[in-house]
């Protein structure tokens, strides 16, 4: 949910299609790069054909950062290799894929990875986004305190056998 504190970043995605070496698929896809800006061209514009591989401008997407998700962004930034994830979704229309989303939230990416149909690619977090994500986390992250509830003392006689005859 977009709140007044949420911010978005426009990015462009480059994807490559190669003939597959598998008998079960015609094409093999991979995301090549996430760019800060791109030429003014429609999604899935062919940029280059070389050695059987075709490079496409897959399209543009918005990466949204939300104050409630800073825990996930923080863990991503603290990882050995901060990442950005791109989701391509199979479609009937040519060239066979659609740009679905781009995220820096590992939890959101995992949800797409679990679907099985989507192509989920991770790339190193680009430098042009790294500082902005770090600033957002520094501004909005609040450590969550864990409040452990104390159990009520058990009544040892609660499940005891009772005399139903009326006597003691």
> How is 136-168 classified by DSSP, letter by letter?
HHHHH--PPPP-PPPPPPP-TTTT----TTS--
Whole-number pLDDT of residue 1: 66
Whole-number pLDDT of residue 83: 97
Task: Classify 78 in phi/psi space as left (phi over 0), alpha (psi -120 to 50) or beta.
Answer: alpha
Whole-number pLDDT of residue 166: 61
What percent of the chain is predicted at pLDDT more than 70?
95
Q: Is the pLDDT of residue 130 over 60?
A: yes
Whole-number pLDDT of residue 148: 79
pLDDT tens across 46-95, in order? 999 999 999 999 999 999 999 999 999 999 999 999 999 999 999 999 99
Sorting pLDDT into bands at 50, 70 and 90, what band is 5?
confident
Whole-number pLDDT of residue 135: 95
pLDDT tens across 131-141, in order? 999 999 999 88
- Average pLDDT of the segment spanning 11-15: 97
Contact 95, 59 (CB under 8 A): no
């Amino acid at each position: 949910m977009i709140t007044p504190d949420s911010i978005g970043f426009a990015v462009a995605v480059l994807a490559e299609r190669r003939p597959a070496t598998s008998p079960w698929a015609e094409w093999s896809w991979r995301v090549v790069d996430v760019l800060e800006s791109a030429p003014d061209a429609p999604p899935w514009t062919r940029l280059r054909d070389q050695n059987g591989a075709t490079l496409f401008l897959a399209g543009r997407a918005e990466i949204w950062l939300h104050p409630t998700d800073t825990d996930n962004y923080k863990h991503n930034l603290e990882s050995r290799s901060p990442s950005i994830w791109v989701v391509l979704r199979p479609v009937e229309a040519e060239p066979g894929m659609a740009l679905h989303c781009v995220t820096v939230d590992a939890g959101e990416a995992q949800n797409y990875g679990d679907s099985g149909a989507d192509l989920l690619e991770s790339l190193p977090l680009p430098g042009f986004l790294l500082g902005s994500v770090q600033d957002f986390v520094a501004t909005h992250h609040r450590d969550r305190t864990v409040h452990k509830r104390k159990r009520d003392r058990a009544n040892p006689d609660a499940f005891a056998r009772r005399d139903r005859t009326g006597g003691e």
